[in-house]
Structure 1
């Protein structure tokens, strides 16, 4: 179904606003919400390009919320994860222009549905904490692959933090720093791959505004919300949008 330009913009802005609210409230899930939502009515490559700048700017805000020295300490402590993640993003991103649309939609939809359903079922993905360097490399490889092709690298990072029993402040800060550097590499990689270009980036610039507004609203609502109920409904929305992406892939 063809959507007029204005309705595409309004729908995309709504997705970015909602993704920003969720990120502000719980600290993650923006890329998953944006890629699944945008790809429901935009080509997968354009949806991927659309999330790049909103993710970059909101991750910068999250990473520096506790100060520059705390952020730099995270870079030092998690350097193995960051090096592997960023390198894998660059490699995986070059696959996007050559992947068929149906394959792209499946690679977007299946992990999102799997993550959402596992969380709704109460399962916690954990990476063995023994030999921490190997755990970081594993998280970096998996996160970097899906980050490069879909802009989504959160679940392996969260699994690593759970395994290390990171407290809330450390968890939010580490996610912000990791996602920020990943976002920078994603932008650089897709400038090279051609996905981010003069045609696709203007939408990404526009979507940064509702994403940041949503994040501010999420910060304001953080202490007032029933966090568990909010998280549950967010996961349900993610699962439904992921199923829709799979449906689109199978009807190509």
Structure 2
């Protein structure tokens, strides 16, 4: 049986990838995002960034589907109906920008994503509330959705800008988790399809992507139990702290490559 790039990994490297997947799953289950960020950041420490992007694809898709329907089909469909513009823009720009990944240095996009994530999260963490007025929401959905999708196609993650958008329109915790699941689930399908087309996901990288899925699911199971105990204020604060940490790590990768 051909195990692709897994055959080239040492046991220590494989165990490290599984550990990263568990950690990412816990965070994903607790606050609804950051699994792709953690996977691409952690796994790219021991392998090529493009292999790390391929590694996150299957776990991202499956965990997002679980998150989408955790509260039932009705709330998921209602969220899709309400946020269809944002979802459409994300999916379209994920597919388009992913085709450029083999051609453009990843470190460029780590900077582009990391700087605004850290800056905007710090502003909110220190008490400055960013808001989007209802009259501007439709334009914001198209614009921020396109921006998020571009980040998703290039760096494999569209979570930080999506979370910042949902916080800016004061989305309640329970609803935010469902909306994030819908946006990430639809985007994950687009991302996986796009990277099958771009060649990032192939017979060499697919075994790694499937291999880390059980670890991510185990971590997500733990994270769901943590999420159920978080109140709204603590949830928002933890979300912002995770965004800052993730953003700083993106900037680190932009500097170090």
Q: Is the TM value for this pair above 0.5?
A: yes
Q: Pick the aligned partner of 2:253 from 229, 236, 245.
A: 245
Once superposed, what is the RMSD of the aligned Cα atoms? 2.6
| 2:114–2:248 CA contact under 8 A, matched in 1 | no
Moved more, 119-128 or 51-60: 119-128
Q: Pick the aligned partner of 1:137 from 136, 142, 167.
A: 142
Distance across 2 between alignment mates of 1:244 and 1:81? 29
Distance across 1 between alignment mates of 2:155 and 2:211? 20
Shift of 1:231: 5.3
Distance across 1 between alignment mates of 2:242 and 2:99? 30
Shift of 1:200: 1.1
Tell me the secondary structure at the aligned position of residue 135 of structure 2: coil
List gaps (5 residues or longer) in structure 1. Answer: none
**Alpha-carbon deviations, 1:117-136, whole Å to 9, x = none?**
55655555544442321111
**Alpha-carbon deviations, 1:26-75, whole Å to 9, x = none?**
11111221121122222111111111111111111110011112211111
Q: 1:101 to 1:140 in 2, by over 3 A?
A: closer
Could you say which residue in structure 2 is the equivalent of 1:75? 80
Q: 1:4 to 1:204 in 2, by over 3 A?
A: closer
1:209 aligns with 2:217: no
| 1:44–1:104 CA contact under 8 A, matched in 2 | no
Q: 1:20 to 1:64 in 2, by over 3 A?
A: same
Q: Pick the aligned partner of 1:50 from 51, 55, 64.
A: 55
Moved more, 34-43 or 90-99: 34-43
Moved more, 210-219 or 155-164: 155-164
TM-score scaled by structure 1? 0.86
Tell me the secondary structure at the aligned position of residue 202 of structure 2: coil
**Across the two proteins, how many residue pairs are aligned to each other?**
247
Q: Pick the aligned partner of 2:184 from 172, 179, 182.
A: 179
Shift of 1:189: 0.5
Moved more, 237-246 or 70-79: 237-246
Could you say which residue in structure 2 is the equivalent of 1:17? 22
List gaps (5 residues or longer) in structure 2. Answer: 1-7
Could you say which residue in structure 2 is the equivalent of 1:195? 200
Tell me the secondary structure at the aligned position of residue 204 of structure 2: coil
